[in-house]
Structure 1
Amino acid sequence: MQVPAAIAPIVDLVFPPRCPLCGEGLSQQQGLCAACWGELAIPGEPSCKLCQRPFPDGMPEGAICAPCMAEPPRHDGIAVGTLYNEASRRLVLAFKHGHRIALAPMLARLMLARLADIGPEWIVVPVPLHRWRLWRRGFNQAALLAGEIARAKGAQLLVDGLQRRKQTPTLGGLGRRARARALSGAIAANPGRLARIKGAKVLLVDDVLTSGATTDACLSALRRAGAERVRIACFARVLDEALPLADKA
């Protein structure tokens, strides 16, 4: 949330602006210091036509990466704010587990830089949390990012477009098949939102894209509900092999 200009000096006096990663003093409440901005890994071009996985320089336009050739994706592209590295990991931890929800606008701005073709005709749907996890955490980090993106694009936010019908274990450390089993039947379209989803262009939003198991489950639910197109947007994507190809912010 943007601090109103009238009270910004008071807020800065009580809470001096500092970089959320290193604590360095800043001129305003939003953003990172120059050094920490430089630690973020921003994916660039060229990239895979289907999933936007970064390629080395010299790859022809329209090239498709090996994973997409082996298993063509059902989504309509992935927009990534940053690649997952130490700097983005610390931002995600501060945002999601440190309850630094004021980071949402900054994280969303990095995602918006990759969403130039998204307009008011799209609906924005966050990856859902189970109600018990939402109760314990107090917020859905994906919904906060989705809200920022929807406001910036003039699109409709459908915060309850998807529902997590059963609680799933933490997926960290599980293999692809184990993740898929854990998520089987866990996510479905909200019956009360089916009319809005059918035939719609949907932007599915999450904070981190790791193996893709959760977004695949969401994608399946949206396709069953009749979504015409589904793009995926995340703040950080785990692609260790692509980190050397990324630009520094």
Structure 2
Amino acid sequence: MQSVVRLVYPPQCLTCDAMTDADFALCGHCWRETPFITGLVCDACGLPLVGEGHPTSLCDDCMTVARPWSQGRSALLYGGNARRLVLGLKHGDRTDLAQPMATWMLSAGAPLLSPDICVVPVPNHWSRRIARRYNQSAILAKAVARGGGFTFLPRTLIRPSKTPLLDGHSRENRFATLLGAIEPHPTRGKEVAGRKAVLIDDVMTSGATLAAATVALFQAGAAEVSVLTLARVAKAP
């Protein structure tokens, strides 16, 4: 039966109509157009670094801005086909992308992951969740937890107030806007107490959202927080 289905519906590339050898895969062209992060990376955000630095080296941003989390990793640079993939998940109802994205994130995030961790998504405000019909960070977090066999805690954090979209805002404005914008859930927040948490989001730009969520996890009693994102925005050279 499976072979018949494959004949009728052969696997196709995640971002184009080209046929692939397996489901949830990229064709050769789209793979080359997708900027996967490999090699030496910033230990706090996963941004690729040049040279042969120490494994705990930091990028310029993470040397300038204090990060409340212990370590961070990202699977992709936000650009090229990676940007199309992120926007497909975020705004295009392409929830089917979560499975392969989680696989990439599990690979990139290997240094952060251990059997005892719990996986927590960055929350969004209820109005935004209704408008999009889902929280893309929660979908990614669920897929990461399932793929790695980790505990998934989807309701640990809440976003009581709606914050404005921050595209185009300065780093300082992003941090000021998000200060205190994320809180532990009044009853479910205690589920993270004493545990190592890995915070999941789709994209890291300035890190303001992740910082606010990390502070909220520590307020809930988390013993340690690391961050894992699908994509990292890099400054233009």
TM-score over 0.5 for the pair: yes
Are 1:111 and 2:105 counterparts?
Answer: yes
**Is the 2:156–2:190 Cα contact (8 Å) retained in structure 1?**
no
Are 1:212 and 2:207 counterparts?
Answer: yes
The change in CA–CA distance for 1:56 and 1:184 in structure 2 (over 3 A counts) is closer
Supply the distance in 2 between the matched residues of 1:40 and 1:208 (Cα, whole angstroms): 15
Supply the distance in 2 between the matched residues of 1:33 and 1:127 (Cα, whole angstroms): 31
Q: Which residue does the alignment assign to 1:130?
A: 125
**Is the 1:187–1:221 Cα contact (8 Å) retained in structure 2?**
yes
- How far the C-alpha of 1:54 sits from its partner, in A, is 2.2
Q: Which residue does the alignment assign to 1:155?
A: 150
Supply the distance in 1 between the matched residues of 2:228 and 2:96 (Cα, whole angstroms): 19
**Is the 1:12–1:29 Cα contact (8 Å) retained in structure 2?**
no
The change in CA–CA distance for 1:46 and 1:28 in structure 2 (over 3 A counts) is closer
The change in CA–CA distance for 1:64 and 1:91 in structure 2 (over 3 A counts) is closer
Q: Which residue does the alignment assign to 1:3?
A: none
- How far the C-alpha of 1:241 sits from its partner, in A, is 5.3
Q: Which residue does the alignment assign to 1:26?
A: 20
- How far the C-alpha of 1:171 sits from its partner, in A, is 1.1
Q: In structure 2, which of residues 74, 78, 81 is the aligned counterpart of residue 80 of structure 1? A: 74
- How far the C-alpha of 1:202 sits from its partner, in A, is 0.4
**Is the 1:119–1:154 Cα contact (8 Å) retained in structure 2?**
no
Deviations 1:61-96 (A, max 9, x none): 443444333344221111111111121000011111
Q: In structure 2, which of residues 38, 41, 44 is the aligned counterpart of residue 47 of structure 1? A: 41
Aligned length in residues: 236
Q: Which residue does the alignment assign to 2:177?
A: 182
Q: In structure 1, which of residues 217, 224, 236 is the aligned counterpart of residue 219 of structure 2? A: 224
The change in CA–CA distance for 1:12 and 1:168 in structure 2 (over 3 A counts) is farther
Are 1:93 and 2:87 counterparts?
Answer: yes
Deviations 1:167-221 (A, max 9, x none): 1111111112222233233210112123321211001001111111111111111
The change in CA–CA distance for 1:86 and 1:125 in structure 2 (over 3 A counts) is same
Gap regions ≥5 residues in structure 2: none
- How far the C-alpha of 1:55 sits from its partner, in A, is 1.9
> What's the secondary structure of 1:172's corresponding residue?
coil
- How far the C-alpha of 1:129 sits from its partner, in A, is 1.5
Supply the distance in 2 between the matched residues of 1:76 and 1:187 (Cα, whole angstroms): 19
Supply the distance in 1 between the matched residues of 2:182 and 2:56 (Cα, whole angstroms): 33
User: Which structure would you say has the larger RCO, counting Cα contacts within 8 Å and 6 or more residues apart?
Assistant: 1
> What's the secondary structure of 1:41's corresponding residue?
coil
Report the AA paired with residue 212 of structure 2: A
Q: Which residue does the alignment assign to 1:247?
A: none
Gap regions ≥5 residues in structure 1: 1-5, 243-249
> What's the secondary structure of 2:187's corresponding residue?
helix
The change in CA–CA distance for 1:85 and 1:190 in structure 2 (over 3 A counts) is same
TM-score normalised per structure 2 = 0.90
Report the AA paired with residue 23 of structure 1: D
- How far the C-alpha of 1:59 sits from its partner, in A, is 2.6
